[in-house]
A and B are shown apart, each in its own frame.
Chain A
Amino acid sequence: MDSTNNRAKMDELTRRDWLVRIGKTAAVAGLSGEVSGAGAALSSLVQSAPRADTLPPGLYEPSNDHLTHALGADGLLHPVPLGSETDYRVPLSGPYAPKFFSAEDFKVVGRIVELILGEPTGSSHETRAEGSAPGTSSADVAGCLDFVAANSAGMRESALKLAPDHRNLAVAYFGRERVESLEKTDVPALCGEGLAWLAKRAQEKYGREFLALQESLEVELLREIGDEPGARAAPEAGRRFFRWLKSQAINGFYRSPKGLKELDYKGNSFYAESPGCSGHEHSGE
């Protein structure tokens, strides 16, 4: 019992604190793109590290504060330093400008993402991705989709240019199917054909553009290409498009701050002791 209480306390003291801070960080970094403050905190951390000057580059002293290395003096998460090999930060500043989809298509994609994620939309038309404030999940997720689509052609090109021995190795490791999927999946075509089907279907079924439909009709249309049992047999172009959108929406959303919070994810955290089973949690089930 003791250890259970202990852990509950740990959970209360560090995890909540950590997540609250991270929540703030995401908001700040996402909106301002400002890193100089945290960068300054980073260099001061190096200078203040005890005895660090006695070790040459490449050797290091353990930080004795579990949180210090993750959070700067301002309590914000250290960003990955600019220009380093690990500089893969999201360069977000303001609303996402689509790189792949046209403005009109991005609205459609944004709307479908809203429907997939079941975002409360009120009267649907006015709160499309374009009008959503950055930071709301579906707008962010639509940005993720666009980013993936924008990078897909280059990725495919690189996959097709793999040297034969490297390709052999990939086949031996992943299996032929996965390697060929990377080489063959044509995301621009998949999206183009999917959007074309959707536009055509909206016209032939309701005589209107997709974005002009009532929510119930949008949902009805999406169900035609959806993955629920008993879905209407729609052409592969539509169903493939839905599968792609849904899997990308899942990846985009559940890796976002809001998605992780919704999952109540309790990892990547700070625990005072091994967060295993206390032997009580599941005994009553």
Chain B
Amino acid sequence: MQTSIPELRVFDALIVGSGASGGWVAKELTERGMSVLMLEAGPPRLPTRDFTEHVWPYQLKFRGFGDTKALLESQPVQRLCYACDEYSHQFFVNDHENPYTYPPDKPFMWIRGRQVGGKTFCWARESYRYSDNEFKAASRDGYAEDWPFSYQDLEPYYDKVESFIGVSGAAEGLPQMPDGKFLPPMRLSCGALVAKQVIENKFGPACAGKLRVTPDRVANLTVPHNGRPACHYCDQCQRGCYTASYFNSPAVTLPAAWRTGRLTLVSDAVASHVVINAQGKAEGVYYVDRATHAHREARARIVVLAASALESTRILLNSKSSRFPNGIGNSSGAVGHYLMDHFTLEGAGGVMPALKSAVRQPTGNPCGFLVPKVVNTAGGPQNKNFLRGYRFDGDASQSLYAHAFGIPGFGSEFRRKVREEIPTYFGLMAQGECLPRFDNYVELDPVKKDAWGIPALHIHASYGENERRMAEAMRADVAAILEAMKLENPEMPRANLSLFGKNIHECGTARMGRDPKKSVLNAFNQLHDVKNIFVTDGACFVTQGCYEPTLTIMAISARAAEYIADEYKRGNL
């Protein structure tokens, strides 16, 4: 929907991006009386056309395996994401229209969703609060910087976000990972329940009882919430959700903003750069129409970048002028630097012999279990071989038919075995914190441009010594857990760390901080250099912890929006 905007209309605020962060900023600003223009680079998604939940594999030409030729040709990067398949490829960008580059020895996997709602259609929904273990990590171990606020500052916004979007989870009372405003938790599967007993009994005491197995805290509704029905457990979340039983911005935050009557939403508007006036302040955003390639400019008194970490940073870098030759907000030289993405050790697991069965269990929980981080937390066991720490994710479920490939023979006896000898497979993954390093950075590619003539990013990212040492400890822990689980044919995690970018938790590149010489944004996501520009997405992260960033992005966005509205009223912007 390309709504034409009156050329001269000046909005109170302009938000670039309509995902988790932009949705919250739009809701909070409009509810406080401000007029908001939202620019979204991609098209609107229509549930009746674009959602494929409840479609069965046999209804698809490629039986759900995907049109590999089309994926190779149009989405050679996006196809690497598990969710970019025959059902859901529409939620991911065309890689030829949206190129980026990287040095050959530093492969980076950039997964992007451009549409009204951004990546909130197919996010994995895990929602954990950070604590001062994350925000004040530098004070404890001396590496890098603290965040410019504490957990106490962010807590009310976590409360606010969780209460509005709905997060299911179990309160555990753990000091290192705060509980939230939870809807009832989902139940663990039979195998996960066994894992909980084994892990907590065997390893919990060694961690002062802190090693806990808890259902994933996910932004899925286990009871009706704010007019949205409860989850019906079809477990097809990444294909869209007609009942909006998990959080996505198009059915949750954006409608709230829309109903104020103060939101103008322009889709198919690819933002290029922030327009700066003679006084060095932002006066709008320059963008290109996705379909017609017409160049346009939109005006506002405040510009909020919420286009995802790397996209917002790309816009900052591309906002060059004689006053800001290295991009806007970059007097510190920190824009583009300190890129992070969690690394994972994957592929570990095995069959749980006691759960082999001829009886099929109901299945459909859109989550597994989490073992929260204990190592190197305040009061937890310390490992001096590396800084920071990691957590585990796991689940156990019956094989649908994957076991058939391992059953020799053919004919009715083969088929009977497939039907009656159903293994339960236990899988365990470890996810670790990536340290923020200056030399993990993005810059504008001097040559490569996207389909709209906007410079592409050149991305330098690799894991370092700390991640490799942490991985050794992760591997040892995974081995111990697999052994305690007494699995059949246990498999250790694959040797390699996950590819940088693969976990789609890219954060940093415009970090917050108290010191304008070392950081890009202040504690309220405001550029140190230009007071009417804000960056509210994952770009602002100072460190990453080992937990999914989206809930924290939303809490930070809500907090920044409140600050923006207050400052705007006071005439300070």
User: B409-425 CB contact bits vs A (8 Å, 1 = yes)?
Assistant: 11111110011000000
Leading 10 A-B pairs by shortest Cβ distance: A276-B187, A58-B44, A118-B412, A58-B116, A69-B242, A62-B244, A275-B362, A166-B76, A254-B401, A118-B411
Q: Do A285 and B54 have beta carbons less than 8 Å apart?
A: no
Q: Specify which of B18, B69, B243 is in contact with A151 (CB 8 Å cutoff).
A: B69
Q: Closest A-chain residue to B186, C-beta based?
A: A274
Contact B61 A90 (CB under 8 A): yes
Question: What distance in Å separates the Cβ of A155 from its nearest Cβ neighbour in chain B?
Answer: 5
Q: Which residues of A have CB within 8 Å of B405?
A: 247, 250
Q: Are A154 and B408 interface neighbours, CB within 8 A? A: no
B235 touches A58 (CB 8 A): no
Q: Mark B83-101, 1 if CB is under 8 A from A, else 0.
A: 0001101100001000001
Q: Which of A214-238 contact B (CB under 8 A)?
A: 219, 222, 226-229
Q: A57-B1, A62-B243 are in contact. Are A42 and B117 (CB under 8 A)?
A: no
Pair B234/A267 contact, Cβ less than 8 Å: yes
State which of B157-165, B251-259, B535-543 sits at the interface with chain A. Answer: B251-259
Contacts of B190 in A (CB 8 A): 276-277, 281-282
Interfacial chain B residues near A86, Cβ < 8 Å:
49-50, 52, 87, 90
Q: Does B171 contact A (CB under 8 A)?
A: no
A260 to B363, CA, bound (A): 13
B228 at the interface (CB under 8 A from A): yes
Shortest CB distance B233–A (Å):
4
A22 at the B interface (CB under 8 A): yes
| Interface residue total, chain B, C-beta cutoff 8 A | 105
Known: A60-B47, A116-B411, A277-B192. A257 touches B229 (CB 8 A): no
Stretch at the interface among B315-323, B353-361, B432-440: B353-361
Q: Find out whether the CB atom of B414 lies under 8 angstroms from the CB atom of A90.
A: no
> Which residues does chain A contribute within 8 Å of B124, judged by CB atoms?
none
A-B contact pairs, 10 of them (CB 8 A): A29-B59, A62-B244, A69-B47, A90-B61, A151-B62, A170-B80, A226-B408, A262-B415, A266-B364, A269-B364
- Secondary structure call for the A interface: loop
Shortest beta-carbon distance, A37 to chain B, in Å?
Answer: 16
**A88 close to B67 (CB less than 8 A):** yes
B55 within 8 A of A: yes
Question: How far does the Cβ of A9 sit from chain B's closest Cβ, in whole Å?
Answer: 12
Query: Does A265 touch B at the CB level, under 8 Å?
Result: yes
Closest Cβ–Cβ distance, residue A169 to chain B (whole Å): 5
The answer to whether B109 and A229 have CB atoms under 8 Å apart is no
> Does A126 make an interface contact (CB < 8 A)?
no
Q: What per-residue 1/0 map shows which CB atoms of B238-256 lie under 8 Å from chain A?
A: 0000111100001100110
> A116 to chain B: which residues have CB within 8 Å?
410-411, 414
Separation of A51 and B201 alpha carbons in the complex (Å): 52
CB atoms of A277 and B46 under 8 A apart = no
By beta carbon, the residue of chain A nearest B355 is: A282
Q: Which residues of B contact A204 (CB under 8 A)?
A: none
Decide if B187 touches A158 in the complex (CB within 8 Å): no
A23 to B573, CA, bound (A): 61
Q: Which of B428-485 contact A (CB under 8 A)?
A: none
Q: Which residues of A contact B357 (CB under 8 A)?
A: 282, 285
| C-alpha spacing A70/B357, complex, angstroms | 31
Tell whether B487 is near chain A: CB-to-CB under 8 Å.
no
Nearest neighbor of B401 in chain A, beta-carbon distance: A254
Q: Beyond A154-B69, A250-B401, is A58–B415 a contact (Cβ under 8 Å)?
A: no
Decide yes or no whether B57 CB sits under 8 A from chain A.
Answer: yes
A66, A118, A155: the one within 8 Å of B413 (CB)? A118
Asked if residues B236 and A268 are in contact (CB atoms below 8 Å), the reply is yes
B48 contacts A by Cβ under 8 Å: yes
Q: Shortest CB–CB separation between residue A281 and chain B, in angstroms?
A: 6
Annotate B43-73 by CB proximity to A: 1 below 8 A, 0 otherwise. Answer: 1111111111111111111111101110011
- Flag if B62 contacts A170 (CB, 8 Å): no
A158 to B502, CA, bound (A): 23
Q: How many of chain A's residues have a CB under 8 angstroms from any CB in B?
A: 100
Known interface pairs A80-B59, A116-B411. Does A169 touch B69 (Cβ–Cβ under 8 Å)?
Answer: no
Knowing A266-B360, A275-B363 touch, does A57 contact B46 (C-beta < 8 A)? yes
The proximity string for A residues 70-106 relative to B, scoring 1 for CB distances below 8 Å and 0 otherwise, is: 1000000111110011101111000000000000000
Whether a CB of chain B sits under 8 angstroms from the CB of A206 is no
A59 near B245: Cβ-Cβ < 8 Å: no
Whether the Cβ atoms of A64 and B355 lie closer than 8 Å is no
Q: Which residues of B contact A (CB under 8 A)?
A: 1, 3, 18, 40, 43-65, 67-69, 72-73, 76-77, 80, 86-87, 89-90, 95, 101-102, 104, 107-109, 115-117, 185-190, 192-194, 222, 227-229, 231-236, 242-245, 250-251, 254-255, 258-259, 265, 267, 354-355, 357, 360-365, 400-401, 404-405, 408-415, 418-419, 499, 502
Give Cα distance in the complex from A213 to B354, angstroms. Answer: 44
- CB–CB A64/B229 < 8 A: yes
Of listed B58, B222, B404, B499, residue having the most chain A CB within 10 A? B58
* Known A260-B56, A277-B188: A165·B222 in contact at CB below 8 Å: no
Q: Please tell me if the beta carbons of A276 and B186 are within 8 angstroms of each other in the complex.
A: yes
Contact, CB under 8 Å: A11 / B362: yes
Q: Does A144 lie within 8 Å of B80, measured CB to CB?
A: no
Which of A58, A154, A226 gathers most chain B CB within 10 Å? A58
Given A118-B414, A144-B63, A169-B80, residue A267 in contact with residue B72 (CB < 8 A): no
Does the CB pair A84–B49 fall under 8 Å? yes
Q: What residue of chain A has the Cβ atom nearest to residue B193's Cβ? A: A277
Interchain CA distance A174-B68 in the complex, whole Å: 15
Q: Which residues of A contact B46 (CB under 8 A)?
A: 57-58, 60
A56 close to B258 (CB less than 8 A): yes
Query: Which of B61, B73, B194 is the one whose CB lies under 8 Å from A89?
Result: B61
Set of chain B residues within 8 Å of A271, measured between Cβ atoms: 232-233, 362, 364
CB pair B414–A81 under 8 Å, yes or no, is no
Q: Do A64 and B243 form a contact, CB below 8 Å, given A118-B411, A268-B54?
A: yes
Question: Residue A159 at the B interface, CB < 8 A?
Answer: yes
Complex contact B50–A275 (CB within 8 A):
no
CA distance A255 to B63 in the complex (A): 7
- How far apart sit A247 and B407, CA to CA, in the bound complex (Å)? 11
